[in-house]
Amino acid sequence: MTQDQLIANTVTYVKQELTHAEGGHDWWHIHRVWHTAGEIAAKEPVNSLIVSLGALLHDIADAKFHGGDETIGPAKARQFLESQGVGEDVITHVIAIIDNISFKGGHNEGKFTSPELAVVQDADRLDAIGAIGIARAFNYGGFKNRPLYDPAIPPDLQMSREQYKNSTAPTINHFYEKLLLLKDKMNTTTGRELAAERHAFMETFLEQFYKEWH
């Protein structure tokens, strides 16, 4: 099987698996991350196949939609890749990307690093900020029936990983607990350059939000 055919099969599989996904974690999220990862990878010394597979499969079963179970996504990705005859070295690397990509409330232990993970992680984080990031945050907040904002509930930057996973705080708090922190967590030069504009847009949005709120 050619690499192009493998990627095409992966795209088909991911689209099918995410047919009914929440709007911020659907196929279009994957599509954006995949293409942004490609843009970053073009300027980095990386294995482009691993970057593409990692980007396409990174949210195949996001734990937040599966009772917090972080084993389902890697298991599904492995099963699919094995069905395609992909070598164990590539499968292991892609699984490691899936296992280590998430922010997790700033408590990502960083047990694994690679240039490919750095690229996919930057692409995923870029999709969490800027105009798209704002839209995704409020879409997920609505999905979880969270309030937009409550001045009586301040952001909590000291949450444990479990507290972060189980938080029911207003969506505006998420900007301070994650989104505004991502600019300084980019791994690549391209990621940092792209993040700067999106970060500034979020700051402008928050300024306008509070102006209208008050």
- Tens-place pLDDT, residues 91-114: 999 999 999 998 765 555 667 999
pLDDT for res 66:
67
Encoded tokens for 107:
């408590």
pTM of the model: 0.92
191 pLDDT band (50/70/90 cuts)? very high
Euclidean distance between CA atoms 13 and 204, whole angstroms? 38
Burial class, 125, CB count within 10 angstroms (exposed 0-12 / middle 13-18 / buried 19+): buried
Q: In the predicted model, what is the mean pLDDT of residues 1-24?
A: 94
pLDDT for res 165:
77
Lowest mean pLDDT among 95-109, 139-153, 164-178: 95-109
Residue 176 has pLDDT above 60, yes or no: yes
Euclidean distance between CA atoms 36 and 34, whole angstroms? 6
CATH of the domain at 116: 1.10.3210.50
The amino acid that residue 4 corresponds to is D
71 pLDDT band (50/70/90 cuts)? confident
The count of structural domains within the chain is 1
Q: In the predicted model, what is the mean pLDDT of residues 188-212?
A: 98
Euclidean distance between CA atoms 30 and 101, whole angstroms? 13
Q: Which residues contact 104 (CB under 8 A, 6 or more apart)?
A: 161, 164, 165
Euclidean distance between CA atoms 125 and 206, whole angstroms? 19
Structural domain boundaries, residue 102: 3-213
| Average model confidence (pLDDT) across the chain | 92
